[in-house]
């Protein structure tokens, strides 16, 4: 058991010999490799700091160092070493270097800020907050510390406090490019895209070579409904960094929203790149290769879900096409709540629920469900629109029909989506697409209509009790177990009115008339400037004409509903 320690001693001694000979770069490289396996090796860390100091001094003086190590300020050297490690994504080693620097200079706000940054990079936000507050207590006018603290607060989802810190950083340093960019990102998550645009453009005025700022500008423009301008911004980001994955994915959304499907689908494949970070779509852990469009004759293929329920409901329409392409065995994996419903998919040989129990046999290939439009070369004109492509299990609609009022015109309602509180960016989208039940009152007051709630989710369902008793919709959703039950209820209705949620896709897939209330920065699936959808022939779009104004949209929906012919009994 002692052998590894003995080897580390030999490695360290060899590094010292190399350093003493003046080969500082080589010594730094070797001692770094040693630290990767033994990050708490105190002497090796100090040697690395000395080596880096000498490397930097050689670069500055363009001559060999001859004065030895006596003049080195180790606190500065350790801080510089931490910065060097951090730049190389060696955050654990960076932390150790900064902590050594703080041992030597415990009142340095610069080192404290650097340590806070690497703690945040390791997702240790409470520790990062503590050290950054200590730095600000010593140096309250340190703009970089305020900006770094803002980033920590943003990760802790304390957005109002983060905004305050970014603005203080800008007040202290009016040319602080990163603070302007960070403020812009935060304002986007607070659904203030016009203010975000101002902040990001200010960042670009300070440095127009930053691809991240152009990508963020594109996001602010897209959220304002300025799609063409967003495309130009994303393309500028990609001109500066051709492999910029997030900009590719964002450009894909804008292109798809204007029907530029050929380029859009290809760029949309970038969502599978690990560089997407929290938005990365991880590949399933199966031991067979991913399908890349090869011939399927005589082959077996497993289709894998991704993103939300609505995405799977929309794109499962491609499975019959896969079967028609010659797939011998075709399976689909899905959340358990979709299993019964997906049993109605034409051409599917097996449906596997993601329940941690089901055995999935070997297939020749697997494929993400949302990659299918790309592999089929889908254009707006060639969207598979054979309807319906989903049906509730036989007899289930009859069971639910007995629980609904007989006769009359029945309309299903959904006013809110999944709030997705765990992700600020996703929650911001939900805030733009969702409403409260009270905002639906003008619709609920339509005479001659029986309203049925299709709203799932405890928070939104509870809102039914906030409505006046005489307009409350019938709510049977506590007894709904899965999407098959919801589909059976929808089959019994004459119309579904919903914000942009999975129910819009469910009703569309069942070929039921569906009215979709779409936010101002409409999802790319609904295209731009049209009130119908090539994805669902019986869908009608009611779009916001100004950001956040749902009252006008609800008024139009209520008027349209009042004008529909309805049975007298």
Least confident of 147-156, 312-321, 462-471, 509-518: 462-471
Is residue 505 within 8 A of residue 487, CB to CB? The reply is no
pLDDT grade, residue 420 (50/70/90)?
A: low
Q: What are phi and psi of 45, to 5 degrees?
A: -65, -40
pLDDT grade, residue 528 (50/70/90)?
A: very high
Stronger pLDDT, 5 or 263, i.e. the higher one:
263
The superfamily in CATH containing domain 396-563 is: Glycogen Phosphorylase B; (3.40.50.2000)
Q: Six-digit token pair at 15?
A: 């590094």
Q: What pLDDT is recorded for position 353?
A: 95
pLDDT grade, residue 166 (50/70/90)?
A: very high
Q: What pTM value is reported for the model?
A: 0.85
Residue 139 Rama label (left phi>0; alpha psi -120 to 50; beta):
beta
Domain boundaries, the chain: 175-282, 300-382, 396-563
- Give CA torsion, residues 93, 95, 96, 100, to 10 deg: 140
89 contact partners, CB below 8 Å, separation of at least 6: none
- Write out pLDDT tens, residues 54-97: 767 665 554 444 444 446 777 887 788 788 778 878 888 888 88
- Give CA torsion, residues 553, 556, 558, 560, to 10 deg: -140
CA separation for the pair 434, 503 (Å, rounded)? 13
CA separation for the pair 235, 263 (Å, rounded)? 13
Q: What pLDDT is recorded for position 430?
A: 74
CA separation for the pair 187, 195 (Å, rounded)? 7
Least confident of 26-40, 130-144, 363-377: 26-40
Q: How far apart are the first and last CA of the chain?
A: 86
Instruction: For domain 175-282, give its CATH number from 3.30.1330.20, 1.25.40.10, 1.10.357.10, 1.10.10.350.
Output: 1.25.40.10
Stronger pLDDT, 46 or 368, i.e. the higher one:
368
pLDDT grade, residue 6 (50/70/90)?
A: very low
Evaluate if residue 479 carries a pLDDT over 50. yes
Percent of the chain past pLDDT 90, that is, above it, reads: 69
């Amino acid at each position: 058991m002692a052998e590894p320690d003995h080897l580390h001693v030999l490695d360290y001694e060899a590094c010292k010999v190399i350093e003493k000979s003046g080969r500082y770069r080589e010594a730094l490289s070797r001692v770094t490799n040693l630290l990767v396996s033994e990050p708490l090796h105190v002497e090796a860390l100090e040697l690395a700091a000395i080596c880096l100091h000498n490397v930097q001094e050689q670069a500055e003086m363009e001559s060999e160092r001859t004065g030895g190590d006596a003049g080195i300020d180790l606190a500065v050297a350790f801080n510089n070493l931490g910065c060097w490690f951090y730049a190389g994504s060696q955050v654990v080693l960076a932390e150790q270097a900064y902590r050594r620097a703080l041992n030597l200079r415990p009142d340095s706000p610069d080192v404290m800020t650097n340590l806070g940054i690497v703690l945040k990079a390791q997702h240790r936000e409470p520790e990062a907050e503590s050290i950054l507050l200590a730095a600000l207590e010593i140096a309250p006018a340190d703009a970089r510390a305020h900006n770094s603290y803002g980033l920590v607060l943003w990760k802790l989802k304390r957005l109002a406090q983060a905004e305050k810190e970014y603005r203080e950083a800008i007040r202290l340093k009016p040319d602080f490019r990163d603070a302007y960019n960070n403020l812009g990102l935060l304002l986007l998550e607070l659904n203030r895209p016009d203010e975000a645009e101002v902040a990001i453009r200010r960042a670009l005025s300070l440095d127009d070579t930053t691809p991240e700022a152009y990508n963020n500008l594109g996001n602010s423009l897209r959220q304002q409904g300025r799609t063409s301008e967003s495309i130009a911004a994303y393309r500028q980001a990609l001109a500066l960094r051709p492999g910029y994955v997030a900009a590719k994915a964002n450009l894909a959304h804008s292109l798809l929203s204007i029907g530029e499907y050929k380029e859009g689908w290809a760029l949309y494949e970038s969502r599978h790149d690990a560089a997407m970070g929290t938005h990365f779509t991880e590949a399933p852990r199966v031991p067979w290769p991913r399908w890349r469009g090869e011939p399927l004759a005589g082959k077996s293929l497993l289709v894998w879900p991704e993103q939300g329920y609505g995405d799977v409901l929309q794109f499962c329409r491609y499975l019959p096409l896969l079967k028609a392409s010659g797939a011998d065995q075709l399976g689909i994996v899905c959340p358990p709540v979709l299993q019964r419903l997906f049993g109605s998919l034409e051409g599917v040989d097996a449906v596997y629920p993601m329940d941690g129990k089901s055995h999935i046999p070997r297939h020749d290939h697997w494929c993400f469900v949302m990659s299918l439009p790309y592999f089929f070369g889908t254009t707006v004109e060639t969207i598979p629109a054979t309807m319906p492509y989903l049906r509730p299990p036989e007899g289930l609609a009859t069971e639910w029909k007995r629980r609904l009022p007989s006769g009359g015109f029945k309309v299903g309602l959904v006013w809110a989506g999944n709030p997705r509180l765990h992700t600020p960016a996703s929650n911001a989208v939900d805030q733009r697409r969702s409403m409260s039940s009270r905002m639906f009152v003008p619709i609920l007051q339509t005479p001659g209509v029986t309203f049925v709630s299709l709203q799932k989710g405890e928070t939104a369902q509870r809102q039914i009790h906030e409505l006046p008793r005489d307009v409350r919709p019938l709510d049977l959703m506590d007894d709904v177990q899965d999407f098959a039950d919801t589909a059976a209820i929808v089959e019994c209705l004459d119309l579904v009115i919903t914000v942009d949620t999975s129910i819009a896709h469910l009703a569309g897939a069942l070929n039921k008339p569906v009215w979709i209330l779409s936010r101002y920065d409409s999802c790319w699936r609904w295209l731009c400037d049209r009130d119908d959808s090539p994805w669902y022939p019986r869908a009608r779009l009611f779009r916001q004409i100004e950001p956040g104004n749902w009252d006008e949209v609800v008024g139009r929906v209520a008027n349209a509903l009042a004008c529909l012919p309805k049975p007298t009994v």
